[in-house]
Chains A and B, each alone.
Chain A
């Protein structure tokens, strides 16, 4: 087991967002968490990347290590868990290249960095054409590619993806997910949270359903796609 979460509780100033959820992710897997807006999907990812504090009693373990002992920058730099946030959150004032370079801030091995950079550009050739362009001038699809590229550069043992499909035209969305599949086949474990349940369940092998801060269902993607409750609530009947 790569990542295990037990009894995870998070609140924002007294308002509970997660009521003690548990899930696990194995090495090399693609796992998704689906849920409506406000269910707590983003909060779950933020807790794993340590951007929000988990309440006492929560247990987060990564490769046997206690995640709660790591500050967010070391979760990335030392454990290789990277988080592609909702809305991409690129540094619009930096160029494409600078965004990618910044993601390697803590890395020392020059040749390895160069190799990864080449790989990012072979997965997303459109980024190579735009390396000197400010990230803020990219199209939505290119921005998502850069956000994923940045995660690829910063660690990529595990990628936490927060609604990568958001705001993308269907065709671009397919491109992005194809690239993610490729990255996964090369060894990166993926934990994906999505409102677009159909897309997420087609892409992932297993999934969890999050409702109002509680995990209410889990199963293989096939099981969930055929579950009448899931169908009704998340797949449009």
Chain B
């Protein structure tokens, strides 16, 4: 039982990364009918943004210029990395996707792949091949509850990931911006007739998704403090799987599917040799998708793509 609960905690933390990245993947896919294959690399950019901000703040503190408490450094790191990464995401939309809005889907999908390569190799060119070490932002303390070890770090990661998923869900349900996003997911062509600029909503969608990917990047850096330019590749693909599994148009679906991926991977790894983890985990997911080809909570959308 203790073993089981321990795996649950691990799975929640592991699933947090997938969930946060899947949200952005899912939003872009739902609202703009695009597979933004650069999104895993936006996660990487977010991790680096967090790295720069955190390292900067820690250095300032060490030099005695600006000594901030560690919780404030963490908060500032998250907020500033969210902001900076959302700018990168919006730039990707503006430069990479907007010019291709009327182009065939395949071209847009290619754009994502190319932008991903540009972000990876751009990082490599700018920072070199050296891996960066994410600063330890908070003093890690572990609590033992009923035999299960939970660190304050894991608690922060899990709680904030769940809260951000719920917050995004509320944003999409309740605000007029979210309403415009849902309308676009349903019938793209009619949205301008409501006086809503498609470009603005596209920027918002990319910005929000990128900001959440940045949080995932920082959390990942806190949990596994080694950063490298290709760190977004595999994680990005898996989050993409979660986004599709969650169902088009469903924020909660994407979040839940992200956590589900975490659970499947962790529990498979707990039983089978770790080399077989992804083989078995993704075979399971393939079977799930066969039975639910529209994902868990997919919403219908208009078949008419033009007016």
Number of B interface residues at 8 Å Cβ cutoff, please give it.
25
Query: Is there an interface contact between A103 and B302, defined as CB atoms closer than 8 Å?
Result: no
Instruction: Knowing A102-B176, A102-B180 are in contact, say whether A49-B187 is a contact too (CB < 8 A).
Output: no
- Is B193 in the interface zone, CB < 8 Å from A? yes
Which of A46, A74, A82, A94 contacts B179, CB < 8 Å?
Answer: A94
Find chain A residues with CB under 8 A from B301 CB. 93
Which of A92, A101, A154 contacts B176, CB < 8 Å?
Answer: A101
- Is A51 in the interface zone, CB < 8 Å from B? yes
Find chain A residues with CB under 8 A from B196 CB. 73, 102, 105-106
In the assembly, what is the distance between CA of A91 and CA of B304, in Å?
A: 12
Query: Is there an interface contact between A85 and B307, defined as CB atoms closer than 8 Å?
Result: yes
- Is B197 in the interface zone, CB < 8 Å from A? yes
Which of A93, A103, A107 contacts B186, CB < 8 Å?
Answer: A93
* CB-CB contacts below 8 Å: B259-307 with A: 299-302, 304, 307
In the assembly, what is the distance between CA of A154 and CA of B180, in Å?
A: 14
Which of A46, A73, A89, A92 contacts B195, CB < 8 Å?
Answer: A73
In the assembly, what is the distance between CA of A154 and CA of B182, in Å?
A: 18
Query: Is there an interface contact between B197 and A73, defined as CB atoms closer than 8 Å?
Result: yes
* CB-CB contacts below 8 Å: B174-198 with A: 176, 179-180, 182-183, 185-187, 189-198
In the assembly, what is the distance between CA of A98 and CA of B182, in Å?
A: 10
Find chain B residues with CB under 8 A from A87 CB. 304
Number of A interface residues at 8 Å Cβ cutoff, please give it.
29
Query: Is there an interface contact between A82 and B193, defined as CB atoms closer than 8 Å?
Result: yes
Query: Is there an interface contact between B186 and A105, defined as CB atoms closer than 8 Å?
Result: no
- Is A181 in the interface zone, CB < 8 Å from B? no
Binary interface encoding of chain B residues 193-220 relative to chain A, with 1 for a CB under 8 A from any of its CBs, else 0: 1111110000000000000000000000
Query: Is there an interface contact between A76 and B194, defined as CB atoms closer than 8 Å?
Result: yes
In the assembly, what is the distance between CA of A106 and CA of B207, in Å?
A: 20
A-B contact count (CB 8 A): 80
In the assembly, what is the distance between CA of A133 and CA of B304, in Å?
A: 22
Query: Is there an interface contact between A89 and B304, defined as CB atoms closer than 8 Å?
Result: yes
Query: Is there an interface contact between A91 and B307, defined as CB atoms closer than 8 Å?
Result: no
Find chain B residues with CB under 8 A from A154 CB. 193-195
Query: Is there an interface contact between B194 and A105, defined as CB atoms closer than 8 Å?
Result: yes
Binary interface encoding of chain A residues 62-92 relative to chain B, with 1 for a CB under 8 A from any of its CBs, else 0: 0000000001111011000011010101011
Find chain B residues with CB under 8 A from A82 CB. 193
Nearest neighbor of A153 in chain B, beta-carbon distance: B194
Instruction: Knowing A73-B195, A76-B192, A77-B195 are in contact, say whether A51-B186 is a contact too (CB < 8 A).
Output: no
Query: Is there an interface contact between A155 and B195, defined as CB atoms closer than 8 Å?
Result: yes
Query: Is there an interface contact between A51 and B195, defined as CB atoms closer than 8 Å?
Result: no
Query: Is there an interface contact between B192 and A89, defined as CB atoms closer than 8 Å?
Result: no
- Is A150 in the interface zone, CB < 8 Å from B? yes
Query: Is there an interface contact between B193 and A91, defined as CB atoms closer than 8 Å?
Result: no
Closest chain-B Cβ to A67's Cβ sits at a distance in Å of: 14
Nearest neighbor of A107 in chain B, beta-carbon distance: B195
* CB-CB contacts below 8 Å: B147-174 with A: none
In the assembly, what is the distance between CA of A51 and CA of B176, in Å?
A: 23
In the assembly, what is the distance between CA of A49 and CA of B191, in Å?
A: 12
Instruction: Knowing A46-B307, A71-B197, A102-B176 are in contact, say whether A91-B183 is a contact too (CB < 8 A).
Output: yes
Query: Is there an interface contact between A76 and B193, defined as CB atoms closer than 8 Å?
Result: yes
Instruction: Knowing A46-B307, A89-B307 are in contact, say whether A94-B186 is a contact too (CB < 8 A).
Output: yes
Nearest neighbor of B306 in chain A, beta-carbon distance: A51
Find chain A residues with CB under 8 A from B186 CB. 91-94
Closest chain-A Cβ to B258's Cβ sits at a distance in Å of: 23
Instruction: Knowing A51-B307, A98-B179, A102-B176 are in contact, say whether A89-B194 is a contact too (CB < 8 A).
Output: no
In the assembly, what is the distance between CA of A72 and CA of B193, in Å?
A: 7
Closest chain-B Cβ to A96's Cβ sits at a distance in Å of: 13
In the assembly, what is the distance between CA of A73 and CA of B183, in Å?
A: 14
Please name the 8 residue pairs, one residue from A and one from B, whose CB atoms are nearest each other, closest first.
A77-B195, A72-B192, A76-B195, A106-B195, A73-B197, A73-B192, A91-B183, A89-B190
A selection of 24 A-B contacts at a CB cut-off of 8 Å is: A51-B189, A73-B192, A76-B192, A76-B193, A76-B194, A82-B193, A85-B193, A89-B189, A91-B183, A91-B186, A91-B187, A92-B186, A92-B300, A94-B183, A94-B186, A101-B176, A101-B179, A102-B176, A102-B196, A103-B194, A105-B176, A106-B196, A150-B194, A154-B193
Given contacts A71-B192, A85-B190, A94-B179, 19 further A-B contacts (CB under 8 A): A51-B192, A72-B192, A73-B192, A73-B194, A74-B195, A76-B193, A76-B195, A77-B195, A89-B189, A89-B302, A89-B304, A93-B185, A101-B176, A102-B196, A103-B195, A105-B195, A107-B195, A154-B193, A154-B194
